[in-house]
Structure 1
Amino acid sequence: MIWKKLGLVYVANGEKDWAISHAYIPTSMMLDEERIRVYVAFLDSHKVGRIGFVDLEARNPLQILKVSDQPVLDIGQAGTFDDNGVTPICLLKYQERLYLYYVGWQLGVKVRYFLLMGLAISEDNGESFQRYSQVPILERSDRELFVRTAAHVHLENDQWKMWYIAGSKWIDVNGKQVPSYNMRYLESINRTDWEKQGAICLDLANEDEYGFGRPFVLKENGLYKMWYSIRSISKSYRLGYAESQDGKTWLRKDQQVGIDVSDSGWDSQMISMACIQKTKYGTYMFYNGNNYGETGFGVAILQ
């Protein structure tokens, strides 16, 4: 596959005190055939993220129609798993409600932070979201101690499938402590109750890699396709691609992802957090560029 980059779409420019910078982890949905809504985390002056949205023309996704005035999901109360930031990851519609799976950020003392999975629900077509629970739907467990998050959730034949990242180790990368984690898989009979440990479905390829980010899964013609972000020591974030017949065992085909960093500009150092959106005008990929979304999110179209 080949993705043609269309350009940078949006980055917060300080016009709101809760949205000083960034537009992190684009998570899209169709409002109708002509409008795309992209949820992102905007950061305040303390680098704490809150979820807002950017509405775009489907015909021309560089054309901005609206930017949210207020967060659709704010941070949690002090002491909860998401009191230092919320980040969108996966959005799906079920029984006339929107279910937003999101990352909750909580600071640590002896480790830098914890990342756990939350769920919020909208009954007004995504104008606002309310927490399903004050605690994460993926809580820490004995073998997934610090990172249990970034889930892509998929409903198929009355069974809920989840691909997510998890890990129990911190490592030193160029003098900075970072978590190390891989991709796991879980199933559930509903969308809220999940087991304490998933099966590893996609593992690190070498010592240079130390983590994956944000899986995005589609099923086309009986084949599961996953886009994900590869975190490595030598290259920072790059996008990867894998395929699976059953959703459990994946074959990495990173060389077929069809998109990489640019020679210069907002996505010249890093490219990550892909979200695929099909429209009648083509299939778009929304993604982040340099410095973990600090330069905003852009869009490419499948050729």
Structure 2
Amino acid sequence: MRFGIRLAATATALAGLLACGGDASNVAPIAWQKVSGPGPGGALLGLGAPGSFDERGNFTVTAVEDGGVTRLYYGGSDSTGDPSCPGIRDSHWRIGLAQSSDGVSFTRVPGAETGGAILDVGAPGAFDSWLAYRPFVLKDGATYRMWYNGSTKPFHCPTGTLADDRRVGYAESTDGVHWTKHYDGAGPGGSVLPLGAPGEFDAQQVGYVWVIRDGDQYKMYYSANDALNSWRVGLAVSSDARTWTKVRGNGANGAVLDLGGPGSLDAACAYQPSVVKERQGLYRMWYRGCEAPSPFGGPSGGTIGYAESSDGITWVKVPQPGAGGAALGAGAAGQFDSGGLTTPSVSQGTTWTMYYAGFDTSGQFLAGLARGTEGSGR
């Protein structure tokens, strides 16, 4: 019954978008099929070698098609940290690169930073001194641009204590492998985005960005949370990809994508956007949704939700064929993504492709792949 109510509400909202000049109501749905990789439980990559920056996990991915090669930029977890906080909870995260000619079998590209990373954590006192992860890479002419998450705190150590100071960092490269950070943004410590005012949806943290070039403008879809640790999506725009102006949305306290209602797939989180402008008047967004918060606050579990927009600002969530209206859900028992999904990275070529990170029920994070085909229009 709840799903039927959501479908009716969605049809009404899409009709409103069409009346405003968009064509989102005629979009063909995409059916996603997971592709089993050569790694553990169907993942694309296994763990890194002992001593490497990613020996405990690979996570928070973005894929870039570059000259017939798929470059997978990802966060990796090392073996440092407090033994009382197992797994990834107290380790450092850095950014690495793997590449593939077929999009399935990947080979790591050794970087010059700690443990083979291509981007290291910052110096003591920098906003990214403990964590540098969740890279988003845009090849923009001859320049590779990277935005990433930085933090001075571990993920979840001591147990019950969450990192609460994520910021957006920026780096540039001429080859996509060797990077130079720029600490000259308008945010804290030279990060990219200022925080929102008290009470705004982005008052506490910003991160997990996706950037598209839309005509002469860059659009940054960024994740943010408030004092209650509720993650939503915001929007900022720029003419030079360096200086950003926030665009206030219609969601709670300025967000462009808000939480869902009770019982929905995104009642507790709606963030980590991946946005494709398919054509004029049609923007598609895939994002991570959480049904309920974790016992200590913040996100828990995760499936991939879907939304559409005619202008890139006002978004309508569209239920998909998966359980609870998800575009892509958790894997079966024994699969690397049986615990949940995060950070979709969607692109449109000869077929639709979604790279994503998943985790199993023990909390092991690895990267995976799904491919999509369009059905008939609604």
Task: Tell me the TM-score range normalised by the shorter chain.
Answer: 0.7 to 0.9
Distance 1:154 1:279 in 2: 16
Distance 1:291 1:101 in 2: 27
Which ranges of structure 1 fall in alignment gaps of 5 or more residues? Answer: 171-178
Tell me: CA distance 1:84–1:132, structure 2 relative to 1, closer, same or farther (3 Å): same
Is the 8 Å Cα contact of residues 57 and 65 (structure 1) preserved in structure 2?
A: no
Residue 52 (1) aligns with residue 81 (2): no
Letter in 1 for 2:357: N
Tell me: CA distance 1:44–1:111, structure 2 relative to 1, closer, same or farther (3 Å): closer
Identify the residue that residue 23 of structure 1 maps to in structure 2: 58
SS of the residue 1:262 aligns to: coil
Tell me: CA distance 1:112–1:156, structure 2 relative to 1, closer, same or farther (3 Å): closer
How far the C-alpha of 1:278 sits from its partner, in A, is: 4.0
Single out whichever of 128-137 and 74-83 deviates more from structure 2: 128-137
How far the C-alpha of 1:111 sits from its partner, in A, is: 6.2
Identify the residue that residue 128 of structure 1 maps to in structure 2: 178
- State the aligned residue count: 290
Identify the residue that residue 182 of structure 1 maps to in structure 2: 232
Is the 8 Å Cα contact of residues 235 and 246 (structure 2) preserved in structure 1?
A: no
- Percent identity between matched residues is 23
SS of the residue 2:320 aligns to: helix
Tell me: CA distance 1:217–1:196, structure 2 relative to 1, closer, same or farther (3 Å): closer
Residue 224 (1) aligns with residue 283 (2): yes
Taking the TM superposition and a 5 Å limit, the aligned residue runs for 1:74-153 are 74-107=120-153, 112-123=163-174, 125-133=175-183, 135-142=190-197, 143=200, 144-153=202-211
Is the 8 Å Cα contact of residues 140 and 196 (structure 1) preserved in structure 2?
A: no
Identify the residue that residue 31 of structure 2 maps to in structure 1: 2
Single out whichever of 74-83 and 227-236 deviates more from structure 2: 227-236
Q: Deviations over 1:239-259 (max 9, x none)?
A: 001000000000101425542
Distance 2:163 2:173 in 1: 31
SS of the residue 2:107 aligns to: strand
Identify the residue that residue 195 of structure 1 maps to in structure 2: 245
Single out whichever of 206-215 and 225-234 deviates more from structure 2: 206-215
Q: Deviations over 1:145-172 (max 9, x none)?
A: 32112121111121121211222213xx
Distance 1:184 1:291 in 2: 29
How far the C-alpha of 1:219 sits from its partner, in A, is: 0.8
SS of the residue 1:202 aligns to: coil
Is the 8 Å Cα contact of residues 151 and 163 (structure 2) preserved in structure 1?
A: no
Distance 1:55 1:3 in 2: 22
Distance 1:157 1:2 in 2: 29
TM-score (norm 1): 0.87
Distance 2:162 2:276 in 1: 34
Give the one of 58, 63, 80 matched to 2:105. Answer: 63
Give the one of 358, 363, 366 matched to 1:289. Answer: 358
Distance 1:189 1:32 in 2: 26
How far the C-alpha of 1:76 sits from its partner, in A, is: 0.8
Letter in 2 for 1:167: N
Larger fraction in helix: 2
Distance 1:291 1:189 in 2: 41
Distance 1:106 1:254 in 2: 37
RMSD: 2.4
Larger Rg: 2
Letter in 2 for 1:163: Y
How far the C-alpha of 1:83 sits from its partner, in A, is: 0.8
Distance 1:254 1:77 in 2: 44
Is the 8 Å Cα contact of residues 131 and 153 (structure 2) preserved in structure 1?
A: no
How far the C-alpha of 1:66 sits from its partner, in A, is: 3.5
Distance 1:166 1:197 in 2: 14
SS of the residue 2:245 aligns to: coil
Identify the residue that residue 313 of structure 2 maps to in structure 1: 248
Letter in 2 for 1:105: S
Tell me: CA distance 1:151–1:295, structure 2 relative to 1, closer, same or farther (3 Å): closer
Is the 8 Å Cα contact of residues 53 and 67 (structure 1) preserved in structure 2?
A: yes
Is the 8 Å Cα contact of residues 89 and 214 (structure 1) preserved in structure 2?
A: no
Larger fraction in strand: 1
SS of the residue 1:127 aligns to: coil
